Chain A
Amino acid sequence: MAVLPTSSLTMRASPLLGALRIADERVTSAFDHAFAPADNPWRHLGALAFFCLVVAVSSGVIGYALYDTSVSGAYQSGLRLQNDPLRLGRLLRGLHRYAADAFMLLSVLHLLREALRGHFRGVRWFSWLTGIPMLWMLWIAGITGLWLLWDERALFSVTATAEWLQALPLASDLLARNFLTPDALNDRFFSLIMFVHIGLPLLLLGAVWVHVQRVSLPRMWPPRALIAGSLITLSLLALSFPAESLGPADTGHVAAQLSLDWYYLFPHPLADTLSATATWALVAAMTLFLAVLPWMRSPSSPARAATRVAQVDLANCNGCSRCAADCPFGAVVMIPRTDQRRHPRQASVIADLCATCGICVGACPSSTPFRRIEDLVSGIEMPDAPTAALRRELQQKLTALPGPEKILVFTCRQAAEFSVLNDASTAVMPLECAGMLPPSFIEYATRMGATGTVIAGCREADCEYRFGDRWVRERLLGAREPHLRSTAPRDRLAVVWSGRAIEQVQTAINSLRCGTGRVPSKSDSDRNHSLEANHD
């Protein structure tokens, strides 16, 4: 598939980062072949991780009722479950363990994917930063769960963790003494660990709530198909490869080889290989790096201040609240009117939350190029791309095409730079996001002589600004205001969620030239109802 390696993100990235981003797109594309785009698990890593947390917490609540928090009873508790003749205990233990493992894996993949897509910059800094302590919390919650089994692996891990903690400057060498002999340990240890193991996942549920505070309509749950598939997969895994305890913890003996849960116990081999101090330095450096990443800027990346946030023009704002409903980051809020107009409310932009996507402009009913006022101003405007300038650009580009065929292509800058498509019969109008386009511009383009219009943006359900593709589709289908009017020439309109695949856009242009434009159909509408955007 021919792709344009020139999207705005990729252009700014190092070759390695660029290659990783292309790899991410290919993985996304591969999953799209197996799953519908809206059900693509690669797009729901965060929601899937949350689902696994819920499975782990739910199974853990039952497990707690069956657990004996004593030195002598802890190990037997695990054995009782794994030897349950009805296999329900095996299912419970396996679900708990594997859901916890999947939670860690999916959380890390979620972090990596968001990092690759640059989703730590700008307005997303809050979600990024609040996600970092969650990684630590989930690791501590997971590792303490393994200790509760009090088998050989638990003793190894708790001793190794104590040795690791002892490497900290202020810690004494006494922690590991608690696990030297059977007499050194008492039942209160398991009560304490149980408290941590239950408390942290509950805190994590709260932390997830904080994590998504700065996004609108956060997608907490994955699609039902993924929930069912994941639950069945984890259950089959639990029954086929039961999560079993090793031999009982024996302070007088060390196993030469141990089966490890690498999702949580990876620091122990690392500390053995690098030294405890070096491992602390490594994890501290990684945590610090992740924490400051939103404020790190390479010399080639543009300054945030260069893009101005949306501005409300009260003279043209009637307080309809469509911009507030469509803003993906909750940057537009409705407040009581501050001027003397009769409308009770007005839109107001919270500058710190504005991602400058322009989706609010696409939602504003006053952003129509048909208005006859001399100075066209919309109720909400992007200062760097005002509606009047868009109308002027559209007029100029269509006038410049010699004709008779005039195809106008609205492209999303986040997907790719499609300027190579400009030719004698095609004019490209780049937008910050496809969702920025008011539907009336499509009809206006036809009035101005366009024989066809193409809207090209990020891959379906993969909008850089979360909801661009969804809102465009709903507006064109008449399911969301502002509608594309029924009189608009839908047979001359093509919508392509191509991502960086230029050939798809070219195919759409060719189809319009041949008079076979792709019109949003009922099947699109059905898919649209099941389509939910991810919270990232």
Chain B
Amino acid sequence: MALPRPVRYLLQALAYAAFAALIGYFSNRPAYRQLADDEAVVKLSFSHSAQLRQACRERGEAELAKLAPNMRTKLDCPRERSAVAVELDMDDKPLYRINTPPSGLHKDGAATVYRRLAIPAGRHQFRARLADGPDGKFTFRHEAGIDLAPGQVLIVDFLTGSGGFVFIHGK
């Protein structure tokens, strides 16, 4: 049974309104909470080529003679690099630990790390250590006390050219 035309038009208007409401609402709402109001963020991120696992050694004459003429280089340097170990502490407590292998099929690439960590906002003492040699000793260290406001981001990077760890944080 067909409805009267005004009723049909009214129903059509309601259908379009519902469509608009559906589009408009989920286009912006509900808001997504990615962080508590009193939390800040630490992003540990770096790409670092660690030391070679084995030191270069000099080949002897007999050994060189066995090689093809075009392969007779004095130094034999294995390509494989060491894993990179990182320890990040906050207020003398471990915040994050990772031992990341080198990249590449021959394990001769850089080790890369990216982690996003939510922490309570406020003043904290951060200490970072990195070991990149075959002996696993922490050769790079950095420590700083940083006041992080809610929502503020602290980036913990490792730049060999800058001497090691860099703590970057906005005002």
Give A contacts to B, CB under 8 Å. Answer: 31, 33-35, 41, 97-98, 101-102, 105, 156, 163, 166, 172-174, 176-177, 180-181, 229-230, 232-234, 236-237, 241, 243, 250-263, 265, 268-269, 272
Contact = CB atoms under 8 A, between A and B. Distances in A.
Contacts of B171: 252
Given A180-B43, A237-B24, A258 B31 contact: yes
B169 interface: yes
Interface residues of B, number: 44
A153 to B, nearest CB: 10
A253 B151 contact: yes
B150 interface: yes
B27 A252 contact: no
Query: Which of B28, B39, B170, B171 gathers the greatest number of chain A CB atoms within 10 Å?
Result: B28
B153 A252 contact: yes
Interface of B: 3, 8, 11-12, 14-17, 19-20, 22-24, 26-29, 31-37, 39, 41, 43, 45, 47, 103, 112-114, 116, 150-153, 155, 157, 168-171
A34 B28 CA distance: 29
B8 A34 contact: yes
15 contacts: A34-B8, A35-B15, A41-B15, A102-B19, A177-B114, A181-B168, A229-B16, A234-B23, A237-B23, A252-B170, A255-B34, A256-B33, A256-B150, A258-B32, A272-B34
B15 A98 contact: no
A224 B25 CA distance: 26
A121 B134 CA distance: 60
B32 A260 contact: yes
Nearest to B3: A33
A258 B27 contact: no
Nearest to A175: B114
B24 A33 contact: no
Given A254-B151, A256-B35, A258-B32, A263 B26 contact: yes
Given A156-B34, A254-B35, A98 B27 contact: yes
Contact of A250 (B15, B20, B33, B170): B170
Contacts of A41: 15
A262 B26 contact: yes
Nearest to A263: B26
Contact of A236 (B12, B20, B103, B169): B20
Given A156-B34, A256-B35, A257-B34, A241 B29 contact: no
Given A34-B11, A180-B45, A269 B32 contact: yes
